[in-house]
Amino acid sequence: MSGTPRSQAESPAPKGPAGLRAQIDNVGESLRQRYRALPRFARWGITMALFILAALLPHFMPYLSSRSNYWVAIILKIGLAALLALGLNIVVGFAGLLDLGYVAFFAIGAYTYAIMTGAVRFTLAQRESLPNFAELIPTFHMYFWLILFVAMGVALLAGVILGTPTLRLRGDYLAIVTLGFGEIVRIVARNLRDITGGPLGVKSIPHPAINVGSVHYDFGLNNNPYYWLVLVLISIVIFFVHRVNNSRVGRAWAAIREDEIAAAAMGVPTVRMKLLAFATGASIASIAGAIYASQVVYIDPQIATLLNPTFGSIIVLSMVVLGGMGGIWGPILGAAAIIFLPEYFRTLGDARFLVFGAALVVIMIFRPQGLIPSRRRAAELTGHDIHEGTVFETQHGVTSA
Amino acid sequence: MNCPGQLSEWVGLAVTGLVLGALYAMIALGYTMVYGVLQLLNFAHSEVFMVGSFAGLYALKWLGVDQPRSGIGLILTLLVALVPAMIFAALTAVGMERIAYRPLRKRGASRLAYLIAAIGVSLFLSNLFLLMDGKSHLGLPFKWPNIAGAAPVAMPPLLERHQVFSVLGVGIDTMQILIVVVALGMMVILDTFVRKTRMGLGIRSVAEDPDTASMMGVNINRVIVVTFAVGGLMAGAAGLLYGMNFGVTQFNIGFIPGIKAFTAAVLGGIGNIRGAVLGGFLLGLVENLGIACVSAQWKDVIAFAVLVGVLMFRPTGILGEQVAK
């Protein structure tokens, strides 16, 4: 191979499966180094080309498969999952907090949208056969864009209310409190019949639309516009994550994750920083929830369960862990793999949770850094006890990651 | 808000609450002991409970229980059924320590890695039972044993529920007495074990300071295995009793009692054995008295509010975090 990257030249790769793994990592590392060595305009060019390619994906589908509609739907699902995974990655990967109630914020977003568009009012009126229920049919409108921000705000608020008492304490408490919170959101959605539509769910949730001057565009039942919307949001999140990673906040998160006491001693406002990560993750999930509700038209309290087969907290966590915590491409790859695999291998069907559960354990034991490791995270997770402070001494280049 | 005016209604709810609380306390002991020695929140403990309830169910079936028994027959059957429930649960707990947690411990993995592995174990076990419904899964050529499946499985009726005596106009039935007696008995045995025996001393010393304990010649690995096993024994017994109380068991039966028991452990002060017992009874009481005024649908919300309230105002719990004391 010409142009051997430095890391490969330094240490001869060991044989066997460990050697193969090291080689795969080296390919990733060499790609990363080559990309960084490129001039700025070339990097921008590559990024834009990737974005355009991704945006045109629905148009390529008819050439790739005879069931293009089906595959576009899958890609949209992957996009939503990737958005969720990137959001959870901020909480789990960056701040090192285990959030097991992530889907609750997704449900909060979906319900905020359903309530604010009047879909709940319509559903209840129709269920009770009120004389004027037909007048209440919610129509698509520009408010979608406004409600997106409201949904974000509601989830932010819920995140702060939930996080403030819990994040002052050890990380384990957050895990169980969020686990309980997911259950609570489901119970509230089921029991507060007059506000949420109760156990039977909400229907006729309106699609978004753009209505500016002479431009009228209805998202409707077509999957493509939702996909593009999700793609734009993913791009924004990636940009945001990329910038934050190299900022004061990103460094504060890394410090908290590696040693919270030391971070506090160094003057990092740990509770505020953890709260920021938790609430940011929550608002991203909420946006994904609102988009999901507007696309599928019908939601019920079951979407908030831990084991929601597409977007449940555990599934999203598996995506982040499988792909690699703390990176950007890791969670996206994880989302693609975990949505795609059960679609492709139908036999996985009911057994997916069994497989994912086992996978979580196996990954934690053998490859805690995931498929596409973030360099810094990999150093922390692979057998260097953080509390003994060996990370910085044994892994050269970690501090500059 | 329409709270009942009659005292007997309150007492009735309190009794139900204390009975449930006894079960929460038994599960909470497992959480708190493992937390004491490993600082690990063992999410999969709820699945240990679930395994115990299924083992107890099949033990009852194997003993040919198809109608309620009484007298000596009842006591013997119950004791014989408790043994497999407790042993299978303990084996599950020890197995998860061996397979999942010990490799992580050897590598000095981060807390996050532990938590993720624990949730993985929990997911794996509950879905293992979900899939054991006598059909083929995962494209494998054989049929899975028909043990659990998605639907609830009915427990054989070992004990006939009838009123034994009454307190303030509230009938106390046989099942309630049985649960409280077994739970209290096991807690006393556990407390004595931890306070009086050599192994108990080892558990307490590891909880206090693992490094020093290790230097003093305590075999840490053995202490951890024993801790998991003891927690499993308690959870297994609780699983059988819980199943008998509600008449059914299911693959996901551990989820809600698991969260409640954890709440109980935190309420009493996590790592504190007597605290877990106190927390269990108190939580059962609070959530049941709470539903006197609001609809029973909100019961789980009350327990959760207790958890958040404790974390907010007294995170060390009522008795404080006296580790494994």
Quick check: A1 pLDDT over 50? Answer: no
DSSP B189-243: HHHHHHHHSHHHHHHHHHHH-HHHHHHTT--HHHHHHHHHHHHHHHHHHHHHHHH
As a whole number of angstroms, the distance between CA B182 and CA A45 comes to 71
A4-20 confidence digits (pLDDT tens): 444 444 445 455 556 66
Q: Which of A180, A191, A380 sits opposite B110 (nearest CB)?
A: A380
The token duo for A346 is 């139908």
Average pLDDT, chain B: 85
Instruction: Inspect the interface and report whether the beta carbons of B131 and A351 lie closer than 8 Å.
Output: yes
Q: What is the pLDDT of residue B24?
A: 93
Quick check: A268 pLDDT over 80? Answer: yes
The token duo for A212 is 């500016």
Cβ–Cβ contact B304 with A under 8 A:
yes
- In chain B, pLDDT over 90 holds for what percent of residues? 26
Quick check: B2 pLDDT over 80? Answer: no
Instruction: Inspect the interface and report whether the beta carbons of B297 and A353 lie closer than 8 Å.
Output: no
Chain B closest CA to A246's CA: distance in Å? 23
**In the block, residue with structure tokens 């996590």:** B270
Instruction: Inspect the interface and report whether the beta carbons of B41 and A175 lie closer than 8 Å.
Output: yes
ipTM for this model:
0.86
- In chain A, pLDDT over 70 holds for what percent of residues? 83
Instruction: Inspect the interface and report whether the beta carbons of A177 and B121 lie closer than 8 Å.
Output: no
Q: Which of A187, A347, A361 sits opposite B297 (nearest CB)?
A: A187
Q: What is the pLDDT of residue A307?
A: 66
Quick check: B315 pLDDT over 70? Answer: yes
A353 vs B contacts (CB less than 8 Å): 123, 126-127, 130
Query: In the predicted model, what is the mean pLDDT of residues A175-202?
Result: 84
Instruction: Inspect the interface and report whether the beta carbons of A184 and B112 lie closer than 8 Å.
Output: no
Ranked by mean pLDDT, the top range of A46-50, A109-113, A176-180, B164-168 is A109-113
CB B83 within 8 A of CB B75: no
Region of poorest pLDDT, from A86-90, B57-61, B269-273: B269-273
The token duo for B77 is 């059957």
B108 vs A contacts (CB less than 8 Å): 383-385, 388
Q: What is the pLDDT of residue B325?
A: 37
As a whole number of angstroms, the distance between CA B310 and CA A97 comes to 20
As a whole number of angstroms, the distance between CA A161 and CA A164 comes to 6
Instruction: Inspect the interface and report whether the beta carbons of A171 and B112 lie closer than 8 Å.
Output: yes
Instruction: Inspect the interface and report whether the beta carbons of A347 and B139 lie closer than 8 Å.
Output: yes
A162 vs B contacts (CB less than 8 Å): 308
Instruction: Inspect the interface and report whether the beta carbons of B297 and A357 lie closer than 8 Å.
Output: no
Nearest to B96 by CA among B149, B33, B43: B43
**In the block, residue with structure tokens 């403030």:** A164
Burial track B68-104 (b if 16+ CB lie within 10 A, e otherwise)? ebeeeebeebbeebbebbbbbbbbbbbbbbeebbeeb
A396: Cβ–Cβ under 8 A, 6 or more apart, which residues? Answer: none
Query: In the predicted model, what is the mean pLDDT of residues A202-216?
Result: 78
Instruction: Inspect the interface and report whether the beta carbons of B297 and A191 lie closer than 8 Å.
Output: yes
Quick check: A84 pLDDT over 90? Answer: yes
Q: HEC string of chain A? A: CCCCCHHHHHCCCCCHHHHHHHHHHHHHHHHHHHHHHCCHHHHHHHHHHHHHHHHHHHHHHHHHCCCHHHHHHHHHHHHHHHHHHHHHHHHHHHCCCCCCCHHHHHHHHHHHHHHHCCHHHHHHHHHCCCCCHHHHCCCCECHHHHHHHHHHHHHHHHHHHHHHHHCCCCHHHHHHHHHHHHHHHHHHHHHCHHHHCHHHCECCCCCEEEEECCEEEECCCCCHHHHHHHHHHHHHHHHHHHHHHCCHHHHHHHHHHHCHHHHHHCCCCHHHHHHHHHHHHHHHHHHHHHHHHHHHCCECHHHHCCCCCCCCHHHHHHHHHHHCCCCCHHHHHHHHHHHHHHHHCHHHHHHHHHHHHHHHHHHHHHCCCCCCCCHHHHHHHCCCCHHHCCHHHHCCCCCCC
Q: Which of A172, A190, A384 sits opposite B41 (nearest CB)?
A: A172
Quick check: A380 pLDDT over 80? Answer: no
Instruction: Inspect the interface and report whether the beta carbons of A173 and B266 lie closer than 8 Å.
Output: yes
Burial track B249-265 (b if 16+ CB lie within 10 A, e otherwise)? bbbbbbbebbbbbbbbb
Confidence of residue A375 (pLDDT cuts 50, 70, 90): low
Q: Which of B123, B308, B311 sits opposite A314 (nearest CB)?
A: B123
Which amino acid belongs to residue B271?
G
Burial class from Cβ neighbours inside 10 Å (0-12, 13-18, 19+) for residue A215 reads exposed
C-alpha distances (whole Å) from B15 to each of B102, B163, B180, B218 are 41, 13, 10, 43
Q: What is the pLDDT of residue A209?
A: 78
**In the block, residue with structure tokens 């909480």:** A91
Confidence of residue A287 (pLDDT cuts 50, 70, 90): very high
Nearest to B16 by CA among B245, B186, B238: B245
Cβ–Cβ contact B184 with A under 8 A:
no
Region of poorest pLDDT, from A12-26, A191-205, B164-178: A12-26
As a whole number of angstroms, the distance between CA A204 and CA A262 comes to 52
Residues 109-128 of B with CB under 8 A from A: 109-117, 119-128
Q: What is the pLDDT of residue A19?
A: 65
Q: What is the pLDDT of residue A310?
A: 72
B109 vs A contacts (CB less than 8 Å): 364, 368, 381, 383
Confidence of residue B238 (pLDDT cuts 50, 70, 90): very high
Q: What is the pLDDT of residue A15?
A: 55
C-alpha distances (whole Å) from A70 to each of A35, A73, A82, A289, A309 are 34, 5, 18, 21, 18
Q: Which of B116, B127, B138 sits opposite A364 (nearest CB)?
A: B116
Nearest to A89 by CA among A344, A308, A322, A292: A322
Q: What is the pLDDT of residue A83?
A: 93
- In chain A, pLDDT over 90 holds for what percent of residues? 17
B89-148 confidence digits (pLDDT tens): 999 999 999 998 999 888 877 778 888 888 889 989 988 888 888 777 777 777 777 777
- The chain B residue lying nearest A349, using CA atoms, is B138
Q: What is the pLDDT of residue A389?
A: 36
Quick check: A21 pLDDT over 70? Answer: no
Average pLDDT, chain A: 79
Residues 206-265 of B with CB under 8 A from A: 255-256, 259, 262-263
Confidence of residue B185 (pLDDT cuts 50, 70, 90): very high
Confidence of residue A386 (pLDDT cuts 50, 70, 90): very low
Chain B closest CA to A8's CA: distance in Å? 25
Q: What is the pLDDT of residue A329?
A: 86
Chain B closest CA to A238's CA: distance in Å? 23
B54-99 confidence digits (pLDDT tens): 999 988 888 887 778 777 888 888 888 899 999 999 999 999 999 9
A30-39 confidence digits (pLDDT tens): 777 777 777 8
